[in-house]
Amino acid sequence: VELLAGLRRAVAGGEFVLEYQPVVDLVTERISSVEALLRWDMPGQGRMSPTDFVPVAEESGLIVPIGAWVLSQACVDAADWYARFGISVAVNVATAQLRDPEFVSTVVGALRFSGLSPQALVLEITESTMIAATAAETDAVVKRLEQLRARGIRIAIDDFGTGYSSLSYLRRLPVDILKIDRAFSMDGPDGADSEDTALTKAILQLSHSLGLSTVAEGVETSERADTLRELRCDRAQGFLYSKPVGAGELDGLLAAETQAT
């Protein structure tokens, strides 16, 4: 209850900030996009991680206004990076946002306000979006995603491989990008064990045969990056390249990369 009251105040009080984690092209090793990650700076109490407050925000429905703020802030920040560096931005979208009939106009509004090109925006949804949804809800979500894609916005499936209905879900949802969960890069000496690598290989074959672009999450070692490159994974994200950083720091990373060429 206390957390919920705090979250209500946070929306109005400007207590949220965004960090950005680079996503690197495995061939060029340059930043091609960033993922926006929400942080809550509680006055006098430090920063709280989204894993601790997003579930509460989802249950209470507060994720809808919070998510609208995330979208508009991320689009404003990314408009500059896209213009200067061609970088796109990925925003996490909760199930409650996708079920909101106003969601398409919220996204379109954020693009208009910021001037960001729809081609520079990716929406990350998770496999759990379809679990416990009625057929009518599923149809409504699919229709919204199709409307967004028709405008040039891309859709990514986040944390792929850890949910329940991965394959049927891929058939149903209009998606462009598949993000392989970091669980597949975490367990062994090169960051993954042989079983993880076999599964990663199968996921990459599947995604490529469906014409999807691929991002591996949680890449912490150059050995893992080499394996992923050999398996033709397109892009990677993880501590090997950068942890999530503030907008100012990301700006510095992008500028340094441009100077290096």
Pick from 154, 182, 224, 235 the residue near ligand G by CB under 6 A.
Answer: 182
Answer yes or no: are the C-beta atoms of 25 and 235 closer than 8 Å.
yes
d(CA 5, CA 3): 5
Q: Would you count residue 38 as binding ligand G (CB under 6 A)? A: yes
Q: How far is the CB of 18 from Mn ion (least distance, A)?
A: 13
To Mn ion, the closest distance from the beta carbon of 230 in angstroms equals 25
Task: Identify which of residues 206 and 240 has a Cβ nearer to ligand G in the complex.
Answer: 240
Find, among 179, 37, 33, the residue nearest to 120 by Cα.
33
Which one of 13-21, 105-113, 154-162, 233-241 is the stretch in contact with Mn ion (CB under 5 A)?
154-162
Q: Which of 77, 100, 124, 234 binds Mn ion (CB under 5 A)?
A: 124
114 binds ligand G (CB under 6 A): no
Pick out residues in 74-113 that bind Mn ion (CB under 5 A). Answer: 92
The two beta strands, 16-25 and 245-246, are antiparallel
d(CA 130, CA 143): 13
For position 237 contacting Mn ion by CB under 5 A, the verdict is no
Closest by Cα among 130, 14, 18 to 74: 18
Burial class from Cβ neighbours inside 10 Å (0-12, 13-18, 19+) for residue 163 reads: middle
Number of residues that bind Mn ion (CB under 5 A): 3
The dihedrals phi and psi of 133, each to the nearest 5 degrees, come to: -95, 140
Residue 196 touching ligand G (CB under 6 A)? no
**Backbone phi and psi for residue 237, each to the nearest 5 degrees, phi listed first:** -140, 140
Which C-beta is closer to Na ion: that of 6 or that of 218?
218
φ, ψ of residue 91 in degrees (nearest 5): -120, 130
User: Which region among 144-152, 164-172, 215-223, 227-235 touches ligand G (by CB under 6 A)?
Assistant: 215-223
Contacts with Mn ion by CB under 5 A lie at 92, 124, 158
Task: Give the footprint of ligand G on this chain (CB under 6 A).
Answer: 21, 37-38, 49-51, 54, 63, 67, 70, 92, 94, 158-159, 182, 217-220, 238-239, 244
